Amino acid sequence: MESIWTSELVQNLARLWDEGHSTAEIGRRLGVSKNAVVGKAHRLALTPRPSPLKRPPLRRPAAPAVATGSGSCSWPTGHPGDKDFGFCGKRTLAGKPYCAEHAAMAYVRPKNHNAA
């Protein structure tokens, strides 16, 4: 059985591995399967990488504090991700995160179905 691993391919594998590329990306660049990359890296005793399955989940930074409690209405305006996205900003009702207008929309009493 003839090996596909030429000395040039092995050098490129080692370089891409050291650069931190994923095994799938290395395979795409070298024209071999991800499994071939993993096997050859193991046989070459390249620096092992932590398993993505055993890594602790990434901690996302805490979301910035919303206007709640700051005295300005935290009713979102626009679409998240758009440049014009923000919050209402009007003065809030006591103990509520929204201004009078938005509190009227947010706090709707359920209809009493038992009333005759």
Look up the pTM and report it.
0.45
Domain boundaries, the chain: 7-43, 62-110
pLDDT at residue number 115: 59
Bridge partners, 77 (sequence order): 86
Instruction: Please state, in angstroms and rounded to a whole number, the distance separating the CA atoms of residues 70 and 46.
Output: 54
pLDDT value for 63: 52
Radius of gyration of the chain (CA): 28
Picking from 23, 19, 16, the residue whose alpha carbon sits closest to that of residue 52 is 23
For the stretch 34-78, pLDDT in tens is 999 999 999 999 998 777 677 666 666 655 554 465 689 999 988
